[in-house]
Amino acid sequence: MGFDHEKTTHHFSLTREGGVIAVTANDENDRASRQAIRGHLAHIAKMFAAGDFEAPMLVHARTPPGVPAMKERRTTIRYAYEDTTAGARILISTHDPKALAAIHEFLRFQIEDHRTADSTELKEDSPAK
């Protein structure tokens, strides 16, 4: 991924419109990790928007649940990259019920596989920057 997992933290959340993938540097002064996170997530947002989910397949050594439907319905899903104070995030959104179910399935898998202890329930409000 281009950054040290010991120096960074992944978070995944589910929203009514999709969800969020966020990565932060554990040390607010760790500029190198923050920049690596930003480069990686910007690249991932572009790949996902193009229907390319090779990166998660390599990380998890299998196709994560939800990916086939996310590929199939990629034109109905929006991936918005944003810098955050400590790293970056990808906001995933759709109005397509089948795409939404796939996004939630994908994010729940990420929560479990990365052992983030994030909630698998919907968040009511937007995550803070």
H or E stretch covering 39: helix 31-49
pTM of the predicted model as reported, rounded to 2 decimal places:
0.88
Unique residue bearing structure tokens 């990380």: 59
H or E stretch covering 24: strand 18-25
Longest dimension (CA), the chain: 41
The more confident residue out of 114 and 38 is: 38
**Predicted confidence (pLDDT) per residue in 21-43, tens digit:** 999 999 989 999 999 999 999 99
DSSP state, 90? E
